[in-house]
C-alpha cells in the first residue's frame, strides 16, 4: 500500500503532470526590447562567423556538390574533367556564380539553385565554384 500512496503524493503527481514550459506575457515595450536583443545576438553571431575566416570551398564541395559533380550526374560537369569545364569556364566566373546560385537549365542538364541546398550562402556557393574551377582547369 505504501507504493500506491507514494504514487499519489502531491510531489509524484507534480512530477508526472508538471508544467512543460512557461508563458511570459509581456507589454509591447518588453516584447520590442526582447526582439531587439534577439536580433542583436543573431547579428553578433553572424559577424563572428564571417570574421572566423574564409569559407572552405573544398569543404562545401564535399558536403553539397560532390554528389552530382563527382560523377557527372544530371549533366553536371565532373570535377577534374577539363573538357567538360572548358566552355563553362570561358563564360567567366560571374556567369558560373550566377548559374550556381540562381540555377540554370541548359542542353546538357540542369543545375538547381545552390545545388538544391538553399541553406548555403552565396559566399559558400562561390567558394565551391572556385574550388571546382581550379580543380578542372
> CA torsion sign, 52 to 56 to 57 to 62?
negative
Query: Using CB atoms within 10 A of its CB, is residue 103 exposed (0-12), middle (13-18) or buried (19+)?
Result: middle
The pLDDT of residue 4 is 58
Q: Which residues of the chain have pLDDT under 50?
A: 47-51
pLDDT in tens, 81-108: 999 999 999 999 999 999 999 999 888 8
Cα angle value 115/134/47 (rounded, 5°): 60
Predicted pLDDT at 48 = 43
Amino acid at each position: 500500500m505504501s507504493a500506491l500512496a507514494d504514487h499519489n503524493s502531491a510531489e509524484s503527481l507534480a512530477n508526472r503532470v508538471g508544467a512543460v514550459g512557461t508563458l511570459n506575457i509581456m507589454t509591447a515595450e518588453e516584447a520590442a526590447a526582447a526582439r531587439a536583443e534577439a536580433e542583436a545576438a543573431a547579428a553578433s553571431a553572424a559577424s563572428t562567423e564571417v570574421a572566423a575566416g574564409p569559407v572552405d570551398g573544398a569543404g562545401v564541395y564535399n558536403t553539397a556538390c560532390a554528389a552530382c559533380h563527382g560523377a557527372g550526374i544530371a549533366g553536371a560537369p565532373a570535377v577534374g574533367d577539363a573538357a567538360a569545364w572548358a566552355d563553362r569556364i570561358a563564360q567567366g566566373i560571374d556567369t558560373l556564380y550566377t548559374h550556381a546560385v540562381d540555377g540554370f537549365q541548359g542542353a546538357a542538364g540542369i543545375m538547381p539553385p545552390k545545388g538544391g541546398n538553399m541553406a548555403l550562402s552565396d559566399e559558400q556557393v562561390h567558394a565551391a565554384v572556385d574550388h571546382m574551377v581550379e580543380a578542372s582547369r
